[in-house]
Amino acid sequence: MNQEALAKAVNVLNEGRFDAFVVSSPENFAYLAGFVVPSHHVLRWRHSMLVVTADGRVFAFTVDMEESTVKRRLPDVPVRSWREFADSSMVVLADYLTEIGLAEARLGIELDYLPARDLQRLEAALPAAHIACSGASFDRLRFIKTGAEIDLLRRLSRISDKGIHDAYASARIGGTEMDIAAALTRSVYEQGAQDYKFMIVATGERSQLPNVGPTLRKLETGDICRVEIFSIIDGYHAGVCRSASVGEPPDQAEEIWSVLSRATCSLIDLIRPGLSTSEVYSAYLKMVEPLNMPPIDFAGHGIGLHLHEHPYLAAQDKTVLEPGMILGIEPLIYNTGYGFGLQNKDMILVTEDGCELLSDYTNTERLIRIS
């Protein structure tokens, strides 16, 4: 168990809104347990949950296929399993919660994760309980990273950054986007990543498309390339994006990149505790104003157990930055009007008096060149 995260969760419970958390999402399970149940995040019906009470007791609930893994990783936590092809998971969960003494409790569950069908079944099987959404509670819990989370995300940031560097270093004119993807995944695994998510390889005219994977498209002289990857260890993500040109870039690309690169540096100089996220976004709009091109509606976001977490550096988000927050900042313009898009994404840690660049392997002052 992540004892520091568990203590934070218990403190929230003692504020009085809930008697217990029934932690249902893969992200918050990993946050408290310290590991990912292997099939939890890919098979939504294979429920694995943690029950945390206001007095600090912890109980585990998991599908029979994952029972041995959960018991091995949580040897001191009582575990109840349900049979995937014989039981109703929610009926077994209701029986377990009743046995624990929570049949009439105020239960906080991530209703932004739990399928509506399963919520209906749980409410029917546990009619005296009061169930409400705990998603916002966990968003706030995960705002401020623990020391161990910071160390892990710093390592992951460098894995993602170096992985893209290695992929571009191996790329050649006439090679394909698939070749870039192969080199990228090889590098992140060689560096110790357990997994990756949401890899973007977009070259030439495809660099204008926000979220696309690699194809057999061949690199041509003058192409702009956008490559992004979220490397993963123990469920945590670090997302980095780098842009490159194949040979000499178009003149417009150099000019646009200089604005985006300066925006990255300016954001790093600007971000500090006490600023609101909306203030940062307002400043960012002024940084990219010389381009006279449409920016996206945010300049960055929290990151950790999800690709995107709160807070957002956006006009509508008024969160005040605090030390220990980790953000992805991403100056980008998808639609430049010249047939290509450009993006630079970095990981930063908000410190006591400013911020620290975590993805510090690659110098992004100039566009990377592929020969």
Q: Residue 107 in 3-state DSSP? A: strand
User: What's the predicted TM-score (pTM) here?
Assistant: 0.93
pLDDT of 250 reads 87
| Whether residue 42 has pLDDT greater than 90 | no
Q: Is the peptide bond before 311 cis (omega within 30 degrees of 0)?
A: yes
Task: Find, among 364, 308, 304, 300, the residue nearest to 328 by Cα.
Answer: 300
Domains observed in the chain: 3-142 (3.40.350.10), 147-370 (3.90.230.10)
pLDDT of 294 reads 86
What are the tens digits of pLDDT across the range 214-264? 999 999 999 999 999 999 999 999 999 999 999 999 889 999 999 999 999
Determine the Cα–Cα distance for residues 296 and 272; give it in Å rounded to an integer.
22
Which amino acid, 145? K
Helices and strands, number each (H, E), in the chain: 10, 17
Using only C-alpha atoms, what is the Rg of the chain?
23
Phi, psi of 231 (to 5 degrees): -75, 150
What are the tens digits of pLDDT across the range 92-118? 999 999 999 999 999 999 999 999 999
Determine the Cα–Cα distance for residues 224 and 206; give it in Å rounded to an integer.
9
User: Dihedral of CA 360/365/370/371: which sign?
Assistant: negative
| Whether residue 41 has pLDDT greater than 90 | no
DSSP H or E run through 61: strand 58-63
Residues 344-358 have a mean pLDDT of: 98
Q: Residue 204 in 3-state DSSP? A: helix
| Whether residue 190 has pLDDT greater than 90 | yes
What are the tens digits of pLDDT across the range 152-180? 999 999 999 999 999 999 999 999 999 99
| Whether residue 44 has pLDDT greater than 90 | no
Determine the Cα–Cα distance for residues 62 and 43; give it in Å rounded to an integer.
13
Residues 177-184 have a mean pLDDT of: 98
